[in-house]
Amino acid sequence: MKKRGIEDLDLVMVDPWCAGYHTNADAPSRRLAKPLIFCRTESDCPMENGYARPVEGIHVLVDMQNMVVIEFDDRKLVPLPPADPLRNYTAGETRGGVDRSDVKPLQIIQTEGPSFRINGNFIAWQKWNFRIGFTPREGLVIYSVAYIDGSRGRRPVAHRLSFVEMVVPYGDPNDPHYRKNTFDAGEDGLGKNAHSLKKGCDCLGYIKYFDAHFTNFTGGVETIENCVCLHEEDHGILWKHQDWRTGLAEVRRSRRLTVSFICTVANYEYGFFWHFYQDGKIEAEVKLTGILSLGALQPGETRKYGTTIAPGLYAPVHQHFFVARMDMAVDCKPGEAFNQVVEVNLKVEEPGKNNVHNNAFYAEEELLRSELQAMRDCNPLTARHWIVRNTRNINRTGQLTGFKLVPGSNCLPLAGSEAKFLRRAAFLKHNLWVTPYAHDEMYPGGEFPNQNPRVGEGLATWVKQNRSLEEADVVLWYVFGVIHIPRLEDWPVMPVDRIGFMLMIYTHPNNIHSLHHLIASS
């Protein structure tokens, strides 16, 4: 530390990153960490951004079970980046600027209270109802999702919805960044890293908070107060039409019910949201923000695998991948397993007598009959989406009822096929996987991904059974990600980035019910 100009060791921060699995030396005979080291500038500023000064070139290996330093190697002397006056994120002039003063207060008031009803962990809102739970690994879990449809009563949609894994691979081949491919759910725990929310900032409006309770590693009970937020949001216009002949217009406002939690994993914050809409949609959304994970540079050095954002400081390129596990139950009563999955692609009609004007295109459906056939990727060129249909239930036009999964923006891993982290994260190789429900198939990287060489475990192995999906209790595993090429504007804080997907009623005319019926009461 003294070689790098650090005299006060109280300023040094150590983040214990999991070792992953790269060689047999990482075998899971003991729990290993390869920490990253940073150094703050000021001892009297508890909110200082310590990630602004990475201590580069030091290799450390720690046995986390016995709390023993196994290896310590000063491999390369890289100067500590100078203190950047713009490094901090606290309010006021400590950032090198001043706060905005031209924004008036925005009040969200529900004088008659909220429209949702709560009984324990049971939530009812508009025509939706469901239960919420919480685990240290996944965080928020949504159970028993159903829609109340007039005379048809309670119509199930899903048994269980949650985010079961998250992987963040970095694209810099240099040490230590090539080892950054954390499984933030399986290795660290999204729920374990959740934190208490603050009314008026994390959430606005009439808020109902839920505490999270789970066992910690010593067997005791840990409680995070105000961990899950439930509230209603105005979401702009749901539907509008003006009759140009009469000048008469009709418009409906859109309101949604949002259930969410936020976790901090080292330098990054992740907000996980489930939005329920009045037109029968369910939206899953992840918001990414926080602080970039950085590297130090030699004087005059640049790095092609990242962005120089301050003197001696760069941010590596990386990706964030999330896995949503959706155990579906579309129109299935308890004990029934009558769902199947269909892929839909738009096709351009061949020129000829059916397309004399060369303008024709149509939607083509393909039943995904087995697990290996259901390893699928997004394709925006064909507006590809997937429908979970009930094989026994039809609407009044004679079509099978269903919910469709509509992808948002997405990507696949940019690493080479032989990248070490893909051995543990083979589930990232496709955007969609479908399996029949099995009680011991909960996590795509297997039950214990820490330092796991991944032999015979995880989603990519389970699907080799090639089980039938033609009529089953189907589980959708949707993998979605974002590529982060850091910008200068991402320093010192990274503004929120949003990714997600939609579950929507599959609406041929009057499929489950007409959209007019859905929105008329809004």
Which is the catalytic residue, given 21, 147, 206, 268? Answer: 268
Q: What angle do CA 446, 451, 452 make, to 5 degrees?
A: 40
Q: In the chain, what is the straight-line distance between the N-terminal and C-terminal CA atoms, in Å? A: 63
Q: What's the pLDDT tens digit per position in 75-97?
A: 999 999 998 887 887 776 555 56
479, pLDDT greater than 60? yes
Which is the catalytic residue, given 172, 184, 331, 473? Answer: 184
517 falls in which pLDDT band (50, 70, 90)? very low
Closest CA to 389 of 431, 346, 343, 324: 343
Under 8 Å between Cβ of 429 and 412? yes
Closest CA to 500 of 287, 319, 289, 345: 287
In angstroms, the Cα distances linking 371 to 238, 254, 375, 468 are 37, 37, 7, 7
Tell me the average pLDDT across 279-298.
Answer: 95
State what percent of residues in the chain have pLDDT above 90: 78
513, pLDDT greater than 70? no
116-517 topology per CATH: Beta-galactosidase; Chain A, domain 5 (2.70.98)
Under 8 Å between Cβ of 191 and 208? no
Q: What's the pLDDT tens digit per position in 392-435?
A: 999 888 999 999 999 999 999 999 999 999 999 999 999 999 99
List the alpha helices (DSSP H) in 25-164: none
Rounded to whole angstroms, the Cα distance separating 336 from 329 reads 8
Predicted confidence at residue 509, as pLDDT, reads: 35
Half-sphere exposure of 442 (CA within 13 A, CB side): 13
Q: Which of 95-109, 114-128, 281-295 has the lowest average pLDDT?
A: 95-109
Q: What is the Rg, in whole angstroms, of the alpha carbon atoms belonging to the chain? A: 25
Predicted confidence at residue 518, as pLDDT, reads: 44
Q: 323 - beta bridge partners?
A: 165, 479
Predicted confidence at residue 291, as pLDDT, reads: 92
Rounded to whole angstroms, the Cα distance separating 178 from 180 reads 5
519, pLDDT greater than 80? no
Q: Which of 221-230, 373-382, 389-398 has the lowest average pLDDT?
A: 389-398
Catalytic residue flag (residue 184): yes
Place of tokens 């009609």: 349
515, pLDDT greater than 50? no
Rounded to whole angstroms, the Cα distance separating 393 from 112 reads 39
Tell me the average pLDDT across 187-201.
Answer: 91
Count helices and strands (H / E) in the chain: 3, 27
Average pLDDT for the chain: 92
Identical fold between 2-89 and 116-517: no
2-89 topology per CATH: Nuclear Transport Factor 2; Chain: A, (3.10.450)
Under 8 Å between Cβ of 318 and 294? no
Give the residue extent of every domain in the chain.
2-89, 116-517
Catalytic residue flag (residue 268): yes
